[in-house]
Amino acid sequence: MIESRPELSKLSDYVPGKSIEEIRERFGLAKIVKLASNENPMGASPKAVEAIHGIADSLHLYPRGDAPNLIGALSNFYSVKKSQIVVGNGSDEIIDMVGKAFIRSGDNCVAITPTFSVYKFTTLSNGADFIGVGEGDGKTSLDDLLAKVNSKTRVVFICSPNNPTGVYYTAAELENFLSKVSSSTLVFLDQAYAEFATAEDYPQMFNFLEKYPNLLINRTFSKIYGLAGIRVGYAIAGEEVIKALWKIKPPFDINQAAQVAAIAALGDREHVERTLKMNREGLEYLKNEISAMGFKVLETQGNFICVHIGEKAKDMVAFLEQRGMIIRGLSSFGLPEHVRITMGRPEENQFLVKLMKEWVG
Ligand X SMILES: *Cc1c(COP(=O)(O)O)cnc(C)c1O
CA 205 to CA 7: how far, in whole Å? Answer: 34
- Candidates 14-22, 75-83, 88-96, 345-353 — which segment interacts with ligand X by CB under 6 A? 88-96
- Candidates 84-92, 120-128, 336-344, 349-357 — which segment interacts with ligand X by CB under 6 A? 84-92
**Least distance in angstroms from the C-beta of 70 to ligand X:** 14
Q: Does residue 91 interact with ligand X by CB under 6 A?
A: yes
Q: Does residue 222 interact with ligand X by CB under 6 A?
A: yes
For the chain, what's the residue count?
A: 361
Q: Does residue 84 interact with ligand X by CB under 6 A?
A: no
Q: Of residues 190, 253, 289, 337, which one binds ligand X by CB under 6 A?
A: 190
Contact in structure between 318 and 286 (CB atoms under 8 Å): no
Q: Of residues 49, 146, 228, 293, which one binds ligand X by CB under 6 A?
A: 228
Q: Does residue 92 interact with ligand X by CB under 6 A?
A: yes
Q: Does residue 192 interact with ligand X by CB under 6 A?
A: yes
Q: Which is nearer to ligand X, 174 or 356 (CB)?
A: 174
Alpha-helix runs per DSSP H in 54-200: 68-78, 91-102, 118-125, 142-148, 171-180
- Candidates 13-21, 86-94, 100-108, 242-250 — which segment interacts with ligand X by CB under 6 A? 86-94
CA 100 to CA 123: how far, in whole Å? Answer: 9
β-pair partners for 342: 304
CA 188 to CA 135: how far, in whole Å? Answer: 20
Q: Which is nearer to ligand X, 264 or 356 (CB)?
A: 264
Selection from 262, 259, 222, 230 nearest residue 62 by Cα: 259
Q: Which is nearer to ligand X, 190 or 289 (CB)?
A: 190
DSSP string, 113-171: SS--THHHHHHHHTT-EEEEE--TTSPPPHHHHHHH--TTEEEEEEESSPTTT-----H
In the complex, residue closest to ligand X by CB: 90
**How would you class 210 by CB atoms within 10 Å of its CB: exposed for 0-12, middle for 13-18, buried for 19 or more?**
exposed
Q: Of residues 44, 48, 155, 159, which one binds ligand X by CB under 6 A?
A: 159
H or E element that contains 316: helix 313-322
- Candidates 85-93, 241-249, 283-291, 349-357 — which segment interacts with ligand X by CB under 6 A? 85-93
Spell out, one character per residue from 95 to 134, where the chain touches ligand X: x when CB under 6 A holds, - when not.
---------------------x------------------
How many other CB atoms sit within 10 Å of the CB of residue 237?
A: 27
**Least distance in angstroms from the C-beta of 91 to ligand X:** 4
Cα 233 from chain centre: 10
How many other CB atoms sit within 10 Å of the CB of residue 236?
A: 24
- Residues in touch with ligand X (CB under 6 A): 38, 90-92, 116, 159, 163, 190, 192, 220, 222, 228, 233
